[in-house]
Amino acid sequence: MRKYRALQLAMVMAGLSACGGGDGAKTGSPPPTALQACTGLQDKVIAASRSSLPTQGAYIVSARLVAGSEESKTGEYCEVLGAIKSVDAAAPNIHFQVNLPSDWNGKGLQFGGGGYNGSIPNTLAKAPLGSNTAPVPLALGYMTFASDSGHQAPDADDASFALNDEALLNYGYMHIKKTRDVASVVAEMRYGSSPRRMYFAGGSTGGREALTAAQRFPDAYDGVISNYPTANFLGLRLWGAALARAVYDDESEGWIPPAMVNAIASTALAACDALDGVADGLVSNMAACRQRAPALLDALRCKSGETGHPDNCLTDVQIEKTIAVYHDGYTIPYSFANGIRAYAGYNSLEGVTMQLGSQAAYIEPPQSGPNAHHASRADQFVKYFVARDPAFSLLSFDIQNPGAYQDRIVSLSGTIGATSPDYSAFKARGGKILWVQGLDDPSVSPYANAALYESVVAKYGKGATDDFVRFYLVPGLAHGNGKFVPAWENLAILDAWVEKGEPPPAAPIAFDNNTATKNRSRPLCVYPMWPKFDGTGDVNLAASFSCSE
């Protein structure tokens, strides 16, 4: 077996020396065709020494040339599938996919995942929230690639992998760089050189991974696109645990039925929609809207003699426990990494529909849909990341007094998350960040991410932060969906910022991706500004709006 592996390694090194000319150039033989270059990658191995983080090397399982077509809109490329071998024999391997365009532009784009990952994301698509009119990155010549983050699961809600230390660390941050290193070697094998520019793009978990790439591996990335990131990962998961207790304690006394949840959202939307100058279904002047929350609650609170009919009123418990956690978040008596002690709430009294599930009864384990979505995600987190006990009950967990689990929680907050304001190394080498967060997000608090951005501004100052970060709070955008789903030239803008030093436009134009409102446009306003209707003009055109504070 040792002789076989030595032979494999020798073949790889021979292949590297032959790429881009090598022996073929000396003998005058023609260079390999795209098909030959692609299929020649089959069964190649990559030494562990080619990774900056611990692995036992990697291997390519398959390499096939995919013809470009009008239907695929990708252009011709070589699809490479493989695995990065874990150090711990009990840990899963990292499965990866690398797409090598026959007409390469010399750049790479790494895609992030979602939820607890467990599968390779779509690497043939546009960059998340990217342009609907431009070709997908692969067709533009980008090498695109991604991994499953180091475990395999059909359900992105499954966190059982975290019982293994290496799998947990891979999910937290290591898979990002391990996959990047392997993809660069694959590029060398195919093209004779590694990418001269490397970008990362993702949403939710992928958004956290994008910021993590910039923070932890600043020399490996030139720019990142981070959409609605779960950056304060521990804060979010503990918020879900707090919500579970608020809703399901005392025989689910805090649960709010769907009819009442919808009534709260529709009442708030009606009260706030026109605060930005036009009733268009989008709440853009969220600061003014939030000032109306106390009055909204007073109007919805059950009066004397009322008992909280599902679509009639809210009880004191529903308001003081469930609404309080959902709208205002929490503060804890200890600190996460980087001194963070709070997680902000959501715009649940400003038109954003809460995710509280379809039934009052708590299922063990909780299931997203019948139960609150965040209770399900928090249950998986507490069971497998914190207690590491599949039988642990979420409803026995108190985020204010976690007892023996407090040190574990604090430690995890430094392993999984992107809450550091320190981007000094990334900034110094010219790295750039496009960061988008939706105001209508029911999954990630927009104010939690705004607080992280503000910590960056506090460190560097507004002017210096503007040199490498743009942060946008987008009205109507939820968590990859919503009333306004922006499609904009994010990859082209990022590339021009990195390559040519051209900063993003003052207010990039975004086009709605929803079918019913397809291609209505709005300016993306740099935080803390928001789009205000000018009073005249077509309400479906960005030109009729100005960014206002």
Q: Which residues contact 481 (CB under 8 A, 6 or more apart)?
A: none
Pair 385, 338 in one domain = yes
Look up residue 315 and give its two tokens: 């009880």
Residue 210 domain-assigned (yes or no): no
Low-confidence ranges of the chain (pLDDT < 70): 1-28, 305-311
Pair 479, 501 in one domain = yes
**Residues 207 and 114: beta-carbon distance below 8 Å:** no
The upper half-sphere exposure of residue 506, i.e. CA atoms within 13 Å in the direction of its Cβ, equals 6
Residue 10 domain-assigned (yes or no): yes
Cis peptide before 365 (omega within 30 of 0): yes
Quote the radius of gyration of the chain (alpha carbons, Å). Answer: 25
Q: Which residues contact 337 (CB under 8 A, 6 or more apart)?
A: 234, 410, 413, 414, 417, 419, 420
Distance CA 48, CA 182 (A): 9
Residue 204 domain-assigned (yes or no): no
Give 494's DSSP letter.
H
**Residues 492 and 480: beta-carbon distance below 8 Å:** no
Q: What range defines the domain where residue 360 resides? A: 235-415
- Out of 195, 225, 243, a domain closes at 195
pLDDT value at residue 31: 87
Q: Tell me phi and psi for residue 452, to 5 degrees.
A: -65, -40
Distance CA 348, CA 361 (A): 22
Pair 89, 146 in one domain = yes
Distance CA 206, CA 222 (A): 17
Q: Exposed, middle or buried: residue 1 (CB in 10 Å: 0-12, 13-18, 19+)?
A: exposed
Active site residue 204: yes
Pair 453, 335 in one domain = no
Task: Record the pTM.
Answer: 0.93
Pair 26, 129 in one domain = yes
Pair 410, 431 in one domain = no
Q: Which residue has the tokens 């395999």?
A: 152
Segment (H or E) for 249: helix 233-252
Pair 385, 435 in one domain = no
Pair 241, 350 in one domain = yes
Residue 502 amino acid letter: E
- Out of 353, 380, 415, a domain closes at 415
Residue 124 domain-assigned (yes or no): yes
Pair 110, 41 in one domain = yes
pLDDT value at residue 96: 98
**Bridge partners, 83 (sequence order):** 59, 95
Catalytic residue among 441, 445, 495, 512: 441
3-class DSSP assignment, residue 81: strand
The b/e string for 55-66 (b: 16+ C-beta within 10 A; e otherwise) is bebbebeebebb
Distance CA 350, CA 335 (A): 29
Q: Which residue has the tokens 């928090």?
A: 378
Torsion, CA 530, CA 536, CA 542, CA 547, rounded to 10: -20
Active site residue 479: yes
Pair 394, 462 in one domain = no
Residue 152 amino acid letter: Q
The b/e string for 91-126 (b: 16+ C-beta within 10 A; e otherwise) is bbbbbbbbbbbbebeebbbbbbbbbbbbbbbebbeb
Residue 214 domain-assigned (yes or no): no
Residue 200 domain-assigned (yes or no): no
Catalytic residue among 51, 86, 102, 204: 204
Residue 299 domain-assigned (yes or no): yes
Catalytic residue among 95, 175, 374, 479: 479
Look up residue 487 and give its two tokens: 């499609």
Distance CA 270, CA 248 (A): 30
Look up residue 379 and give its two tokens: 């249950």
Residue 461 domain-assigned (yes or no): yes
Pair 249, 284 in one domain = yes
- Pairing type for strands 469-474 and 45-46 reads unpaired
Number of domains in the chain: 3
Active site residue 95: no
Pair 264, 360 in one domain = yes
Please give the angle made by the CA atoms of 116, 121 and 127, to the nearest 5 degrees: 115
Please give the angle made by the CA atoms of 213, 214 and 216, to the nearest 5 degrees: 65
**Residues 283 and 269: beta-carbon distance below 8 Å:** yes
Give 542's DSSP letter.
G
- Out of 169, 195, 221, a domain closes at 195
Distance CA 426, CA 204 (A): 21
**Residues 292 and 327: beta-carbon distance below 8 Å:** no
